Structure 1
Amino acid sequence: MRKSPRNMIATLSFLALLPAVAFARDHPRQKMPAITAEPGQNERIFDLPLNGSETVRVLSAAPDRSRGIIVMLPGGAGDIGLEQDGNIRHGDNFIVRTRSLWNRRGFAVLIPDTIDHASLRGHRSSPAYARVVAQLIALAHQQGPEPVFLLGTSQGSIAAMNGAAHAPAGSLAGVVLTESVSVMGGSKETVFSADPQAVRAPVLVVANRNDRCTVAPPQAGQQIADAMTGSRDVHVLRVAGGTARSKKACGSLTPHGYYGIEDRVVEAISQWLDAHS
């Protein structure tokens, strides 16, 4: 293994699990709790105009004083079911359900839905979606002078890689890829389909050794890092832990989605963000 900064590996073992508490806003009828009950702070809804007549609905959650803005790209189909009144029909995804945790650490977040709730599977590595991410980055810069980051999880890491590869120079302070899809599956695309060699910004690759999702094997973390040859600052953060509430290994409420260790993972990523702010 080379000893250059881009191949440094930070290893964290998360042995204690966080207690799960009710998430009443997204799951009002659930008998069993999903995650934290608190929505993000100062939540607003944007309808961001895209090229042509299309718009994408965006959830903004920001603390009173922000030290950074994160454009967060959900996994799965990407459809979080964001309504105009702020209700979220599909709120289990890691980045959606943890927005209050990011706010507590001083980070504002922007979370896009999909256009007309259509699936993004198979489209995240496309030039068209790179342009959507570029417009989300521009929206983030309009919110204030704070540094802007991209964060993608699972299938959303493909979108983050693609967006970072084609982002305007200097527009991103860093990119975070969590439990990234690196093995070809049903979506017919991976992070390697999204021009990783063109990424110039600093990158953090997060891999949970307890992740059993077959298309996001944790042992691929270093391979993903090595593919970003255009960045001089790429790190792999290895974490461990989590529990499974879902029977699907790639589900959000499993180690793939950091279920049960959300707070510790958010804290570890936040430390990296602070170092790149």
Structure 2
Amino acid sequence: MARLAWLAGLACASAGAARAQVPEQVVDIPTRPGVTQRFLYLAPAAPKAAVVLYAGGHGGLRIFPNGSMGWGAGNFVVRTRQDFAAAGLAVAVVDAPSDRLSPPYLNGFRQGAEHAADARAVIAWVREHAKVPVWLVGTSRGTQSVAAIAIRLADGGGPDGIVLTSTILREERGRAVPQMELARLALPVLVVHHKDDGCKLCPVADTGMLMDRLTAAPRKELVVVSGGSNQGDPCEAMASHGYNGIEPQVVQSIATWITAAR
């Protein structure tokens, strides 16, 4: 059974305190023939687990060789990468692959076999370098990537668990996450959602339907959070949809759940 939990919505007093930043490196690895996959990689000493992060929107971060980005730096899972590292996790922030570096980037690509092949290579690289379980974490449209990848790699080469934040629960094109073959996911699944998410594709009322369809997950939980600051477009990163103002608590909740599954 899924358990409904609530996080306090108060800003963490130490969130703005100075903290040593974990060094980041830009990594390019071959995936499909003639294709490479770029990601930012950062890892604390002796990580407890690893997370591969998939941003929402079109997903084309355009990571430059110096680690800066052409787009998406404010996306929830991108802007919190140092928080994930501070929580003891190795982190890979995934860009679009080399054959998708112009519009529409990952749009129309997230649920396909080629995206899963790219992810398999990233998971293998992170698993080899970090020597810990590897989880996929997606936010908004990134949840379509994470769920589709885990389903396609269910027979081998896939993650040890997945985290879906601000899940796409309804869709105007393609398939929303609840319409995928979720019964194939025989791995731990954490679902995080803001109770005031105003994005029309992500109504919190539909999260129960999502949880009900995770029939093979050996461990699953729904965490509904509250608080923070709701600004701008309800489907963008500075709204409740992106956990604006409560990022440290949300990341710590995810990290605690992941490491408890070891």
TM over 0.5: yes
Q: What amino acid maps onto 1:108 in structure 2?
A: A
Q: Check 1:39–1:181 CA distance in 2 against 1; reply closer, same or farther (3 A cut).
A: farther
**Number of residue-to-residue matches in the alignment:** 256
1:244 paired with 2:230, answer yes
Q: Is the 8 A contact 1:133 1:159 kept in 2?
A: no
Q: Is the 8 A contact 1:125 1:194 kept in 2?
A: no
Note the C-alpha offset of 1:189. 3.0
| Aligned residue number for residue 25 of structure 2 | 44
Q: Check 1:100–1:66 CA distance in 2 against 1; reply closer, same or farther (3 A cut).
A: same
| Distance (Å, rounded) in 2 between the aligned partners of 1:224 and 1:40 | 36
Residue 67 (structure 1) aligned to one of 19, 35, 48: 48
Q: Is the 8 A contact 1:9 1:238 kept in 2?
A: no
Q: How does 1:107-118 map to 2 (within 5 A)?
A: 107-115=89-97, 116-118=100-102
Q: Check 1:79–1:137 CA distance in 2 against 1; reply closer, same or farther (3 A cut).
A: same
Note the C-alpha offset of 1:64. 2.1
Deviations 1:207-236 (A, max 9, x none): 110110110111222211212222232211
Q: Check 1:183–1:37 CA distance in 2 against 1; reply closer, same or farther (3 A cut).
A: farther
Note the C-alpha offset of 1:173. 2.6
| Distance (Å, rounded) in 1 between the aligned partners of 2:179 and 2:17 | 34
| Distance (Å, rounded) in 1 between the aligned partners of 2:17 and 2:109 | 31
Q: Check 1:78–1:261 CA distance in 2 against 1; reply closer, same or farther (3 A cut).
A: same
TM-score, normalisation: structure 1: 0.85
Note the C-alpha offset of 1:139. 1.6
Range with greater deviation from structure 2 (204-213 or 218-227)? 218-227
Give the alignment's Cα RMSD to 1 decimal.
2.2
| Distance (Å, rounded) in 2 between the aligned partners of 1:261 and 1:152 | 17
| Distance (Å, rounded) in 2 between the aligned partners of 1:178 and 1:209 | 12
| Aligned residue number for residue 254 of structure 2 | 269
| Aligned residue number for residue 28 of structure 1 | none
Residue 100 (structure 1) aligned to one of 75, 79, 82: 82
Q: What amino acid maps onto 1:251 in structure 2?
A: E
SS at 1:64's partner residue? coil
Q: What amino acid maps onto 1:178 in structure 2?
A: T
1:183 paired with 2:165, answer no
SS at 2:65's partner residue? coil
Q: Check 1:66–1:92 CA distance in 2 against 1; reply closer, same or farther (3 A cut).
A: same
1:259 paired with 2:240, answer no
SS at 1:47's partner residue? strand
Q: Is the 8 A contact 2:150 2:158 kept in 1?
A: no
1:220 paired with 2:244, answer no
Instruction: Give unpaired runs (5+ residues) of structure 2.
Output: none
SS at 1:12's partner residue? strand
Residue 17 (structure 1) aligned to one of 11, 15, 39: 11
| Aligned residue number for residue 67 of structure 2 | 86
Q: Is the 8 A contact 1:19 1:260 kept in 2?
A: no
TM-score, normalisation: structure 2: 0.90
| Distance (Å, rounded) in 2 between the aligned partners of 1:257 and 1:20 | 20
Q: What amino acid maps onto 2:31 in structure 1?
A: L
| Distance (Å, rounded) in 1 between the aligned partners of 2:58 and 2:18 | 24
Q: What amino acid maps onto 1:143 in structure 2?
A: H
Residue 58 (structure 2) aligned to one of 55, 77, 82: 77
| Aligned residue number for residue 205 of structure 1 | 191
